[in-house]
Amino acid sequence: MIKITEMRNNRVRENADILQFFPASSIPEIYQMMMSDKRYGLTVNMLATRVLPLLIPQMVNTQLQYEEFAFVHQVLQEMFDHIDK
């Protein structure tokens, strides 16, 4: 029998794997939505080990417009604040 936490971790892992097919500008929006709704099971550990390593390189992406960069920065700041709590 699979534990509920394992099911949630698998769901988040699957979501992270699927996100590679989305445009880079929409990924922060998806993670922001996932952070705001606990049903997605995005834990502090998942943020630190799976999400942040995907988003941090976007901070040096020269193809981002200023608005996109500012949004990525805002989402990353929210994630760091969430981890700090």
Q: What is the pLDDT of residues 29-83, one digit of tens each?
A: 878 888 888 888 888 998 999 889 988 988 898 888 899 899 999 999 999 999 9
More confident residue, 11 or 29: 29
Domain boundaries, the chain: 44-85
Number of residues that this document lists for the chain? 85
- For residue 76, the model assigns a pLDDT of 93
Model confidence at 6: pLDDT above 50 = no
Q: Which residue has the tokens 């993670």?
A: 31
- For residue 55, the model assigns a pLDDT of 87
- For residue 2, the model assigns a pLDDT of 44
| Distance from C-alpha of 23 to C-alpha of 41, rounded to nearest angstrom | 23
